[in-house]
Amino acid sequence: MRSFRNIFLYECLFALTFWKHCSLSVENELFISASNDFPEDGSDKKTKSLPLLYTNSHQSKANFDWVVIQNTTESLSLSEITNDNVKKLVALLSNFRRGSGLQNLTLTNVSVDWDALTEILQTVWHSSIEYFNINSVTQLSNIKTYDFDYSGTSMKALTVKKVFITDLYFSQDDLYKIFADMNIAALTIAESEMIHMLCPSSDSPFRYLNFFKNDLTDYVFQKCDKLIQLETLILQRNKFESLAKVSFMTSHMKSLKYLDMSSNLLSHDGADARCQWAESLSELDLSSNQLTDVVFECLPVNIKTLNLQNNQIASVPRGVTELKSLAELNLALNRLADLPGCSGFSSLEFLNTEMNLILTPSADFFQSCPRVRELQAGHNPFKCSCELQDFLRLERRSGGKLAGWPAAYLCEYPSALRGTQLKDFHLSELACNTALLLVTALLLTLVLVAVVAFLCIYLDVPWYVRMTWQWTQTKRRAWHSRPEGQETVLQFHAFVSYSERDALWVKNELIPNLEKGEDCVQLCQHERNFIPGKSIVENIITCIEKSYKSIFVLSPNFVQSEWCHYELYFAHHKLFSENSNSLILILLEPIPPYIIPARYHKLKALMAKRTYLEWPKERSKRALFWANLRAAININLPVADGERSGETD
C-alpha cells in the first residue's frame, strides 16, 4: 500500500477551562496549533496555526497556564517539545483515550532523551491517535532497552523524520526493536542516517514501510519472513549495492507490490547468484543507480511497471528475459542508441526513452510493438536522414503515439539542420527510396549508354580512336628510329591525296603542270613515293610529315574513299599538332552535302571555314588556277647533302 487515503473534514475547536481542571507551569514554550489537513501516510504537510492558542510566542522562557483541548478536536500540532514539558504533554495526551476525537498528531522540533521519547510514544499508542508524525528529533540520548506495550492501539501510521542521536555507543537492537515490532499498518523513518532495521519478531501487520534517505545496506531484511502483509517498501536514497541481494530480500514478502530502490548504488554484473523476487511484485523503481544491460537478467517476471531511468543501459538484450506482464517501461536518461523491440515485452503500452543517444530510431518499432499506446522519445540527438523519415512516416500511420510532439523532437545532425523540428524535416521520395533510386539510376545509365553508342556510331568514334592509336604508334616508332637530335627534313612541296577514280586528272593535269618549268614543284605521290614494306598508314604519315603542304583533290569520289579519309585525318591532325597552315583543298567537282558521310565532319568544317581552289571548267581561267596553286606551295626545299657536295666539286 503506497498511501493511506483517509479523508477527514477536521474542525478544530479549542476552549479554555477552569483552573481546577488542570493547572501546570512550564519553563519552556509549548506551541499548539490545529489543522484540518493531515498527511495520508503520516508524512509532513503544512498546518494552519491558530494564534489564539499560544502565549509568549516570542519569549524564550515564560510561565504558561496550560489549556485543555476538547475531545472534538481531530488534528493537533505541537512544537518545541523538551524534556521539561514532556510530562505536561503526556498528561494532555492521556485525556485522549480510545474513542475520543483526536486522530492526527504532529510533534515538531522535539529535543528529548530516549526515556521521554518512549514515554510519549507509549502514551500515544494507547490514545485515539491514528496518525502520529514526529519531525526533527534532536539530542536523542541514553538509548536502552524498553519493554514497549503494543496492545490496545488505534495507531495506523507512524512517521519519524530527521532523528539525530547523540549517543556514540549503544545497542542498535534496543533502538530498532521498538519500531520493528510495531503492530501498525504504516511506518516511515526518513532522513535519519539509520544503518539497519531488524526483522519483526512475529508476523507483522506492516503494509507500508518507508526508509527514505538513510544509510541502509544490502543486509536489511535478509531472510526475513515476517513481513507477510507488506505491500509497499520504499528504500530510496540509501546505500544498497547488489541487485541480486535486493531480490532475495523481497523473496519472503508474499504481498509486496511496490518497491522503490531509486538513488542507490545498485549494480548487477551477471556473476551474482540468480535473482529471486517476490512473485507479487508488480511495480519496481530502479532509477538513478549504476545498472547496465545485464539488469534485464535480474528482473521480476510478473513486473508491470518498471523504472530504469538514469542508469547506464546501452541496449535491451533480445531473448534474455520474458516480461509478459510489463506494461510501462521507463528508460530515460540512459545510453540507448536505438529503440528497444518488444520481443520480450508483449504487453508493453508505455515506453519512455527520452534523453538517450538515439540518432535514428528503428522504423520497425511500431510493427514490433503493436500494443504501445504512447512513446516518449523526445530530447534525443536525432539525425535527420531518410531512416528517420521512415520512422516518422510509420509513426503517423500508427495514429500519433509520440508524446511531447513536436516541441521535444529536434534535429541535432547534420549541423545545417540543428534545431529544426522533425515535423518540418522532409526529403523527396526519390532521395529516400533505395529501390526507386536504383531503378532511376539504371534507366538513366541505359539511356546514357544508348546515346553515347548512337553518337559513337553516327560520328564514327571507333574509327577515330583507331586512327589516333595508329598515328600515336607510328609517331612513337619514328621517334625511336630517328637519330638523336635530328629533325624531320622537308623533301616535297606537297603531298597529293586523291581518289583512284580521279587519278587521270592528277596524272594528266596536276602533276604535269606543277612539275614542269623552271620553278619545278616536287610532289609526293603514293604510287612512286610510298616505301615498300611499310604499312599504308605509316607511309601516309611519313609522306605528310616530309611535305610542306598537303593537297586534297575533292570530289564525290574522294568522300567515298576510305584511304582518302585516312590521309585527310592525319593531315588535319598535323594542322592542329604543329599549328601549321598546310592544307590545300582543290574542289574538282561539286560535292552534294547529303553524300558526305557523318564521319567527314572535319571535311565539312574545313570546307565551311577554309578557302579552297575550284577547278575551272573554262580553259581561259586555268592559268590563274595554276599560278595560285604554285604560289601556295612555293618554298625553297633544303638541299640534300649529296647535292651540296656535287655542287662544291
Q: What is the pLDDT of residues 198-250, one digit of tens each?
A: 999 999 999 999 999 999 999 999 999 999 999 999 999 999 999 999 999 99
User: Percentage of residues in the chain with pLDDT exceeding 70?
Assistant: 76
More confident residue, 229 or 491: 229
Q: How far is the C-alpha of 233 from the C-alpha of 260, rounded, in Å?
A: 6
Q: How far is the C-alpha of 134 from the C-alpha of 152, rounded, in Å?
A: 21
* Residue whose entry in the numeric block shows the C-alpha cell 507488506: 230
Question: Can you read off the three cell numbers belonging to residue 455?
Answer: 553518337
Burial label for 512, CB within 10 Å (0-12, 13-18, 19+), is: exposed
Say what the pLDDT of residue 453 is: 81
Q: Which superfamily, per CATH, for 490-639?
A: Toll/interleukin-1 receptor homology (TIR) domain (3.40.50.10140)
Q: How far is the C-alpha of 215 from the C-alpha of 177, rounded, in Å?
A: 18
pLDDT of 301 over the 80 cut: yes
| Residue 236 near residue 265 (C-beta atoms within 8 A) | no
Say what the pLDDT of residue 488 is: 59
Say what the pLDDT of residue 24 is: 30
Q: Give the mean model confidence (pLDDT) for residues 566-594.
A: 70
Say what the pLDDT of residue 535 is: 74
62 confidence band (pLDDT: 50, 70, 90): very low
Q: Give the mean model confidence (pLDDT) for residues 559-577.
A: 66
Question: Can you read off the three cell numbers belonging to residue 355?
Answer: 534523453
Q: Which of 7-16, 116-125, 266-275, 403-412 has the lowest mean pLDDT?
A: 7-16
More confident residue, 84 or 457: 84
pLDDT of 446 over the 60 cut: yes
Q: Please provide the average confidence, as pLDDT, over all residues in the chain.
A: 79
pLDDT of 155 over the 90 cut: yes
Angle ∠(133,138,142) on CA atoms, nearest 5: 105
Kindly report, as residue ranges, where domains of CATH 3.40.50.10140 are found in the chain: 490-639
Q: Give the mean model confidence (pLDDT) for residues 21-36.
A: 37
Say what the pLDDT of residue 580 is: 58
pLDDT tens for 494-520 read: 888 888 888 889 888 888 888 876 667
Query: How many other C-beta atoms lie within 10 A of the C-beta of residue 518?
Result: 4
**Cβ burial 17-30 (10 Å sphere, 16+ → b, else e):** eeeeeeeeebebbb
User: Percentage of residues in the chain with pLDDT exceeding 90?
Assistant: 36
More confident residue, 92 or 399: 92
pLDDT tens for 451-476 read: 888 877 666 666 566 666 666 666 56
pLDDT of 522 over the 60 cut: yes
569 confidence band (pLDDT: 50, 70, 90): low
Q: Give the mean model confidence (pLDDT) for residues 286-292.
A: 96
| Residue 189 near residue 210 (C-beta atoms within 8 A) | yes
Say what the pLDDT of residue 66 is: 43
Say what the pLDDT of residue 470 is: 61
31 confidence band (pLDDT: 50, 70, 90): very low
Bond prior to 51 in cis (omega within 30° of 0): no
Q: Closest by alpha carbon to 351, among 292, 317, 305?
A: 305
pLDDT tens for 376-415 read: 999 999 998 888 887 888 777 777 788 888 899 999 998 9
Specify whether domain 1-192 bears CATH 3.80.10. yes
Kindly report, as residue ranges, where domains of CATH 3.80.10 are found in the chain: 1-192
pLDDT tens for 615-634 read: 888 888 888 888 888 888 88
More confident residue, 585 or 482: 585
Q: Give the mean model confidence (pLDDT) for residues 88-93.
A: 88
pLDDT of 6 over the 60 cut: no
The length of the chain, given as a count of residues: 649
Strand 31-33 with 75-82, pairing: antiparallel
Single-letter code of the amino acid located at 185: A
pLDDT of 168 over the 90 cut: no
pLDDT of 423 over the 50 cut: yes
pLDDT of 348 over the 90 cut: yes
Q: Looking at the whole model, is its pTM more than 0.75?
A: no
Q: What are phi and psi of 374, to 5 degrees?
A: -150, 130
More confident residue, 448 or 645: 448
Q: Measuring CA to CA, how many Å separate 618 from each of 9, 146, 502? A: 136, 150, 19
**Cβ burial 229-247 (10 Å sphere, 16+ → b, else e):** bbbbbbbbbbebbbbbbbb
Say what the pLDDT of residue 341 is: 85
